[in-house]
């Protein structure tokens, strides 16, 4: 590829040429047969008796991301990761993605290739194949719509609606890192080079830009009788726990001292005079798993998790619906947990 | 629903309330089991031994539509119809759709419901079920991304790559009506009421706003050994025939006198001093089927089609690749057919 082509404005290339220039690194593994890019639709068959699992996500400039804090590589990476996280939340094995993208004419071909390079990285890790999509110009913002497809055994699918009173509530990883990384990045007008960041900041920024979809944990939970309900944390624990409780028609009690938080996040919160608890409850974009298990499986689950070194924390218990959703800060100090995560169309948006 | 809620700004409602307000008229038929709206992903299983067929399309304000000429109902209708047309082009049976939509804050809840009412109309006709999606605010334009899913027998799938030299080229319906309807609509600053339009104009506008996906024709072509290649006409015959020939590695000769055109379109073209041929070759958005069949099936196909009263026209023949793609205007007057349909990212865009 000549330098000229790399910096060519997208407006000087046709859609066909653009599609031809998608990096070929996206894994060619996945289920077959497929009729993919170049026809009206993609065709495939899941291995019997697997069910097809499908999810779709929008990523919109100045709503879900800004080019001030994320490169096109970062944007592509996260677009794939958040969709993989939806598969993790169902306990499914992701197999293919469809990428639709509307590009403002200011972007150059190199940006487009960076986007696909970023998108390809987590797809390659999880052997997910690019199956198709749509490409358009955009009058204004960069607009991305991803549809991910996977498969799961009919009896091994994680849903949000099975939590029962007495079940234990778990989350994977640490919460609030992504919000802290984003708070830090907001100071920049263009995305900083990772090498220029201090180690703790680099960690938080990485957690924000390159979340780890918990695909293996989701698959494990689905393959065992453990989990009664599961979802991924995208809007913040306070809001997502509300979603899970609403679908399961239950309440919940969580303990603030049990919420897992990284040292890096806690130190940075202290430095800028905010509270780590706020980020970890309401920050959003953690892409960790939130799940519940009946108490009788506690020992089995923790034994397995220890062997696989997947970080999980027990943060509370499911309660009857009338209990509401509460957080206990110390003995006898309880409050209702109000969702403050990101809500589209809400004038009270806060992140 | 109270008038207050109908005119409530979307920014005053939460995403959950919005999703709850999607009209329940969208057919609940389709394949099962499904876990749909409200979970991280949708789950289903095609009937064995059917394959899953998937397609995705972007519709972006001021690129694919404008609210000057289309109501939210029209936009929803067309969003569903163009995706159903992709299923038709594969010979597949559409079963479900995912709808992702980013809404500018100026829209009111009634707009959103009108969109889903329009979307629901062709979905209901084809027993297609709303399976999920994503909803976001948009900083600027209205963005819509639809993913449609269907099923087809593995041996009965229409692709673009099987046309052979000597095959006959067909199109369904009449071409250029949509372009004519759009040319007429462009005079308006807000969408005109259909009842205010003259009968011919109402026909052309209807063809533009409410295209008929040729699902039954596609399914028939796929169920018989007739069709060697097929696709739907979205970018205009000149560009789409090029796509089909490129995928099949062949050339083509078509006859301008054989291109099917409606009287309404021809009269309107004459009135505004443009040529009907230009609209029918390059206009785009016809959503008719373009397909090829081996010569030996000509009689069988035409017999069937006559019985079913589906309008189709033989417009030319497939030629060897070196022949290129040509159009014959009268005996011995041939020219190369240059694509002039809509091309994103092209400075020479013309519609």
Listed residues A88, A119, A152: the one ending a domain: A152
Contact B41 A345 (CB under 8 A): no
CB contact under 8 A, B56 and A133: yes
How many domains does chain B fold into? 2
pLDDT, residue A18, reads 54
The pLDDT score that the predictor gives to residue A14 is 52
In a domain, B162, yes or no: no
Q: What angle do CA B227, B233, B236 make, to 5 degrees?
A: 135
Q: Mean pLDDT, to the nearest integer, of A257-280?
A: 96
- Testing the interface with A: which of B50, B56, B247, B348 to mutate, by most A Cβ within 10 A? B56
> Does B131 share its domain with B202?
no
Place B35 in a pLDDT band, splitting at 50, 70 and 90: very low
The crossing angle, in degrees rounded to 10, of helices A177-185 and A199-209 is 110
Q: Are residues A118 and A201 in the same domain?
A: no
| Bond preceding residue B33 cis, omega within 30 of 0 | yes
Chosen domain end from A118, A152, A186: A152
pLDDT at A129: 85
The nearest alpha carbon in chain B to A66 belongs to B139
The answer to whether residue B10 scores a pLDDT higher than 70 is no
Name residues whose C-beta falls within 8 Å of residue B31's C-beta, 6 or more positions apart in sequence: B44, B45, B46, B47, B95, B96, B151
- B299 or A48, which is more confident: B299
* pLDDT at B153 (0 to 100): 84
**Residue-level pLDDT at B19:** 54
In this complex, which of A40, A63, A100 lies closest to B58 when CB atoms are compared?
Answer: A100
- Residue pair B26/B123 in contact (Cβ under 8 Å)? The answer is yes
Over residues B247-256, the mean pLDDT reads 96
Is there a domain that residue A26 lies in?
A: yes
Asked which of A152, A185, A202 is the last residue of a domain, the reply is A152
Find chain A residues with C-beta within 8 A of B65's C-beta.
none
Question: Is residue B36 domain-shared with residue B65, that is, in the same domain?
Answer: yes
If you measure CA to CA, which chain A residue comes closest to B18?
A345
Asked if residue B349 is part of any domain, the answer here is no
Q: What CATH number has the domain bearing residue A83?
A: 3.30.1330.10
Structural domain of A19: 3-152
Nearest one of B148, B161, B156, B155 to B53, comparing CA atoms: B148
The total of other beta-carbon atoms located within 10 Å of residue B194's CB is 11
**pLDDT over 60 at B13, yes or no:** no
| B279 found inside a domain | yes
| Shared-domain flag, residues A193 and A326 | yes
Q: Are B135 and B237 members of one domain?
A: no
CATH code of residue A214: 3.90.650.10
Q: Which residues of B touch A45 (CB under 8 A)?
A: 46, 49, 51-52, 154
**A40/B346 CB distance under 8 A:** no
Contact B160 A40 (CB under 8 A): yes
Region of poorest pLDDT, from A138-142, A175-179, B76-80: A138-142
Which among B259, B267, B136 is positioned nearest to B200, based on CA atoms? B267
Mean pLDDT of B286-291: 97
Share of chain A above pLDDT 90, in %: 57
* Mean pLDDT of the residues in chain B: 85
Beta strands in B92-193 (DSSP E): 93-104, 129-138, 143-152, 168-172
The span from the first CA to the last CA of chain A, in angstroms, equals: 41
Q: Any residues with CB less than 8 A from the CB of B28 and at least 6 apart, and which? A: B129
User: B221 in helix, strand or coil?
Assistant: helix
Assigned domain for B44 exists: yes
Chain A positions touching B38 (Cβ under 8 A) are: 160-161, 247
pLDDT of residue A181: 95
Distance (Å, whole) CA A206 – CA B52: 36
Pairing type for strands B325-330 and B251-255 reads parallel
Phi, psi for residue A147 in degrees, rounded to 5: -120, 130
Chain A residues whose beta carbon lies within 8 Å of the beta carbon of residue B100 = 56-58, 145
B139 or B316, higher pLDDT? B316
At B39, the pLDDT band (50, 70, 90 cuts) reads low
Instruction: Decide: A50 and B46 in contact? Cβ < 8 Å.
Output: no
Specify whether A183 is located in the same domain as A297. yes
Show residues of chain B in contact with A56, CB under 8 Å: 98, 100, 132-134, 145, 147
CA distance A120 to A24: 9
Domain assignment of residue B350, yes or no: no
- pTM for the model stands at 0.82
Say which residue, A100 or B27, is predicted with more confidence: A100
Same domain, B193 and B269: yes
Same-domain pairing of B117 and B198: no
Task: Clarify whether residues A328 and A215 are in a common domain.
Answer: yes
Interchain CB distance below 8 Å, A60 and B147 = no
A341 inside domain:
no
More confident residue, A99 or B345: A99
Q: Judge if ipTM > 0.90.
A: no
Convert the pLDDT of each residue in B205-243 to its tens digit: 999 999 999 999 999 999 888 899 999 999 999 999 999
Q: Which tens digits make up the pLDDT trace of A21-75?
A: 555 544 343 333 344 445 667 776 667 667 888 888 889 998 888 999 999 999 9
Q: A175 with A299, same domain?
A: yes
**In a shared domain, residues A141 and A249:** no
Beta-carbon contacts of residue A114 (< 8 Å; ≥ 6 apart): A71, A72, A73, A76
Residues of chain B positioned with their CB less than 8 A from the CB of A247: 38-39
- Residue A344 located in a structural domain: no
- pLDDT in the model for residue A36: 47
* Span B93-113, average pLDDT: 87
- Strand residue runs (E) in A250-338: 251-255, 289-293, 312-319, 325-330, 333-336
On whether both B173 and B312 belong to a single domain, the answer is yes
Q: pLDDT class for A341, splitting at 50, 70, 90?
A: low
pLDDT tens for A194-216 read: 889 999 999 999 999 999 999 99
**Chain segment B138-147, per-residue pLDDT in tens:** 888 899 999 9
Nearest to A134 among B58, B61, B150 (CB): B58
Q: What percent of chain B has pLDDT over 70?
A: 84
């Amino acid at each position: 590829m000549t330098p000229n082509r790399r910096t060519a404005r997208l407006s000087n290339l046709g859609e066909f040429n653009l599609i031809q220039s998608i990096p070929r690194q996206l894994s060619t593994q996945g289920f077959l047969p497929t009729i993919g890019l170049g026809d009206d639709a993609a065709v495939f068959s899941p291995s019997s008796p697997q069910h097809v699992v499908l999810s779709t996500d929008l990523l919109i400039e100045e709503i879900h991301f800004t080019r001030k804090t994320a490169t096109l590589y970062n944007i592509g990476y996260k677009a794939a990761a958040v969709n993989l996280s939806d598969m993790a939340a169902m306990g499914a094995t992701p197999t293919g993605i469809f990428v639709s993208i509307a590009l403002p004419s200011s972007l150059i071909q190199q940006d487009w290739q960076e986007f696909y390079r970023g998108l390809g990285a987590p797809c390659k890790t999880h052997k997910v194949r690019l199956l198709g999509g749509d490409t358009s110009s955009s009058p204004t913002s960069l607009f991305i719509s991803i549809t991910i497809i996977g498969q799961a055994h009919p009896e091994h699918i994680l849903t949000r609606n099975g939590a029962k009173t007495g079940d234990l509530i778990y989350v994977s990883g640490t919460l609030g890192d992504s919000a802290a990384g984003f708070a830090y990045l907001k100071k920049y007008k263009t995305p900083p080079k990772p090498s220029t960041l201090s180690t703790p900041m680099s960690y938080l920024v990485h957690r924000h830009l390159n979340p780890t979809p918990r695909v293996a944990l989701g698959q494990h939970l689905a393959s065992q009788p453990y989990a009664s309900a599961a979802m991924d944390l995208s809007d913040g624990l306070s809001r997502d726990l509300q979603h899970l409780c609403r679908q399961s028609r239950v309440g919940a009690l969580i303990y603030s001292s049990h919420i897992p938080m990284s040292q890096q996040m806690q130190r940075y919160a202290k430095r800028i005079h905010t509270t780590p608890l706020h980020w970890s409850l309401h920050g959003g974009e953690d892409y960790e798993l939130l799940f519940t298990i009946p108490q009788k499986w506690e020992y089995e689950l923790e034994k397995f998790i220890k062997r696989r070194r997947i970080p999980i924390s027990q943060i509370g218990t499911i309660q009857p619906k009338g209990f509401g959703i509460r957080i206990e800060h110390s003995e006898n100090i309880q409050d209702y947990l109000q969702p403050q995560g990101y809500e589209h169309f809400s004038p009270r948006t806060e992140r």
